[in-house]
Amino acid sequence: MIIVLSVFNGFEGLVRGLYTDFYADIRIAPAIGKVLQLTQSQIDQIKKTKGVAQISLVAEEKAVLVNGDNQAIVFIKGVDDNFTFTNNITPHIVNGKFDIGTADKPRIVIGAGIENATGIDVEKSVYPVTLYLPNRKATNFNSLEAMNSYNAYPSGTFLVQQDFDNKYIFSNLSFLKYMLDLKADEYSSVELKVNTNDPNKVKDDLQRLLGEKFLVQTRYEQNQSLFTVMQVEKWVIYVILSLILIVAAFNMIGALTMLVLEKQKDIAVLKAMGADNNLIQKIFLSEGLVLAGIGGTAGIILAAAICYIQVKFKLIKLGGGTFIIDYYPVKMLATDFILVVATILLIALLAAWIPSRKASLQEFSLKS
């Protein structure tokens, strides 16, 4: 149980880290629709909110990226110069650099999956790629008028996680606002970095400041379904392993039952000397807890040693070679050790209670 839960913690921590690098601590989005309006006064108030360290303005829309005969549907995020301060995307640039260009000469930073799908080579790209974005002023959506197009050069490739690598590209905020015909005070969202350990407090302050027309979410709330599923998976694994432990506890029930049969005369002697049923039951309960304690302690020590070796030397590798890391991640938590110890004691107590109860109630005769 310790090993499996620790490996699961390792994967959970890895996924959380990847999502942490891509998503900001807090995101402000419109409660209804796709566009929010923020005056300069409101932006200044957001910046002055206690706990807010950085603020980045974002425009986002679905687009078509075309490179020769290859194309892909992408989500393009127009970001400002503060964007790299609100998240940790820069260390994940594997080719080129994070350069979004200017409004007149925009550049794009693309996910590795999009790069492969469209055949773009960022480091050897000579010709620009074409971006097609929806025209908000179009009246006929079945004609070429429904799309605006623009040529841009790729500047870098990021590799974070498949969900992001196959979906997102980044470009200049002013350029994207121009392509989408957004007004000066219109944005898709605002992303913030906080310098406090309580982002929920900052979120509540911002929600009161901005009102009901704005949706303020922490990083957890932006990916609530993912994190909820991860927690449910961990508890499902714990239940399955507990069921296996319950099945294994039948060995203890069998061992104690055989011990009761072997000690019939000893039980009779104790009762003849004045021992009551509770004392007999406590003796066999103690025997069961001793067995569980020895086995549980040995198992926990062995599990902790295996996990430590994996953390230190990364001996057990992941197959396939397509994941971000090539070894099983392991993260030991004190709460898991406490949970496992409590589970062992509970199951051992129940397993020992059955034969101990039987031993205390039966009447034995020394003559037999």
Domain residues of the chain, as ranges?
24-222, 226-361
Residue 139 phi/psi, 5-degree rounding, is -105, -25
The Cβ of residue 366 has, within 10 Å, a number of other Cβ atoms equal to 10
DSSP 130: E
C-alpha–C-alpha distance, residues 284 and 306, integer Å: 33
Contact 3, 188 (CB under 8 A): no
- Please give the pLDDT value at position 368: 54
Contact 65, 125 (CB under 8 A): no
- Please give the pLDDT value at position 133: 94
pLDDT truncated to tens, each residue of the chain (368 aa)? 999 999 999 998 888 888 888 999 999 999 999 999 999 999 999 999 999 999 999 999 999 999 999 999 999 999 999 999 999 999 999 999 999 999 999 999 999 999 999 999 998 878 899 999 998 777 776 666 788 999 999 999 999 988 899 999 999 999 999 999 999 999 999 999 999 999 999 999 999 999 999 999 999 899 888 888 888 998 999 999 999 999 989 988 898 889 888 888 888 888 888 888 899 899 999 999 998 999 999 999 999 999 999 999 999 998 766 667 889 999 999 999 999 999 999 999 999 998 998 888 877 666 65
- Please give the pLDDT value at position 366: 60
Q: What is the pTM of this model?
A: 0.79
Among 78, 134, 74, CA closest to 103: 78
- Please give the pLDDT value at position 124: 84
Tell me the CA distances in angstroms from 131 to 2, 57, 106, 136, 282, one per residue in order.
Answer: 50, 21, 11, 15, 77
C-alpha–C-alpha distance, residues 49 and 43, integer Å: 10
> What is the three-class DSSP state of 185?
coil
Among 99, 118, 103, CA closest to 170: 99
Q: Amino acid identity of 333?
A: L
C-alpha–C-alpha distance, residues 162 and 253, integer Å: 49
Residue 260 phi/psi, 5-degree rounding, is -60, -45
C-alpha–C-alpha distance, residues 95 and 77, integer Å: 19
